[in-house]
Amino acid sequence: MSETYDLILRGGTVVTPGGETQADIGVRGERIARIGDLTEASAGEIYGATGLHILPGVIDSQVHFREPGMEYKADLETEARSAALGGVVAVFEMPNTNPATTTPAMLQDKLNRAAGRMDVDHAFYAGATHENIDLLPEMERMLGCCGVKVFMGASTGDLLIKDDEGVEAVLRVIKRRAAFHSEDEYRLEERRGLAVQGDWRSHPVVRDVEAAVSSTTRLLRLARKVGKRIHVLHISTAEEMEILRDAKDIASVECLPQHLTLAAPECYERLKGFAQMNPPIREQRHQDALWRALNAGIVDVMGSDHAPHTKEEKARPYPASPSGMPGVQTTVPIMLTHVNNGKLSLQRFVELTSAGPQRVFGLADKGRIAEGYHADFTVVDLKRKETITADWSKSKCGWTPFEGFEATGWPVATIIRGGFVMRDGEIVKKGGGKPVRFNETLEPAT
């Protein structure tokens, strides 16, 4: 008698921990039941994947979805839909909303808001302040919390711990790996007067290399002092990568598609405020160094730092324009284009977007195509050519810095826990996202 599955993905090139292989995947319920030759098996649905690559579901471990408080530019529902259309199966959302996610009640409020509205699986960061350090141990143990986020330099919102004493106090009380926006607020305060009115080219002058290097050097010293793991977000400088290369025992490293694809001053001359983000996009030498570090294994994770603002806000003259840009929907086609152009291997892309998050954050059942894991897949056509447009990008903000980008490699299906969410560019299942599970906070058996 032949085996029966709920879903079989047949004939695709599957990217497993062992490499690329031609195989079928059998799914029962929410999990991968079998990988191999399933030509004799039957299923409730068979998805023909010949000519396609089946990747582990892409996980975006840094997004800002703006809810609560800024729903006019983005919300959990619209941005999760944008994620699913881009081939992303799970997102970790940042705490700088209004109000900020600084109490257990606020974290639970986000989880409640997400239920039945977010198309993709999700987790939320607890935001650290000087006033809530005593609450962080409780928050990081909550189901659906991906860890603690610390802003050492001010970005969007009012979360900030700029002093060494505050950072050390946070690291001492928590057990999980904390994520850091690493820019030195003291130096940023000194340099704000260097902003040239209406000239976005001065943004990386205000937020200069030394602001990043100084902060990351301080952060590594404090992490070693207390013996804690840290995750350093959106590294933008060549100098930081050299420092972080010698700190792999305690520090994991994130890189963004924006810093790997755009370069100053051209991006500011062309995009103006739409190229403004923190830390800034810098000159070509930094981009070259980021690529070298990525392929040398220094970089562990790729996030998008999806951070929407309205077109009207971004059009304000610098420095009144806010920092941040959408990106959760464009990561896959942009990075697959880099794969096709020989900048990185497909296996390395998978390491950065699924295996890396699984290892760094301790995901309980996501991050690889292996029997017993969640049936999360990003199905892509590596040969498909498309042009990224604002019409395709479905973030509520209505724009993308990659307008007109000619991509080679495109997401054609997003499958989350065995069910299609996006198929052929259309959302086919709404609001089914669930909280991500982590090894360090598994719920007790009932």
Positions marked catalytic = 305
- The pair of three-digit structure tokens given for residue 16, joined into one six-digit string: 């497993």
Q: Which of 54, 101, 60 is nearest to 82 (CA)?
A: 60
Phi, psi at residue 301, to the nearest 5°?
A: -140, 145
* Geometric angle at alpha carbon 311, from 316 and 75, rounded to 5°: 125
Per the CB < 8 A criterion, the answer to whether 151 and 130 are in contact is: no
Q: How far apart are the first and last CA of the chain?
A: 35
Residue 83 CA from chain centroid, whole number: 10
CA 302 to chain centre: 6
**What is the rounded distance in angstroms from the CA atom of residue 255 to the CA atom of residue 287?**
11
11 φ, ψ (degrees, to nearest 5): 85, 10
CA distance 291 to 345: 12
Structure tokens given for 103: 């109490």
92: which strand partners? Answer: 123
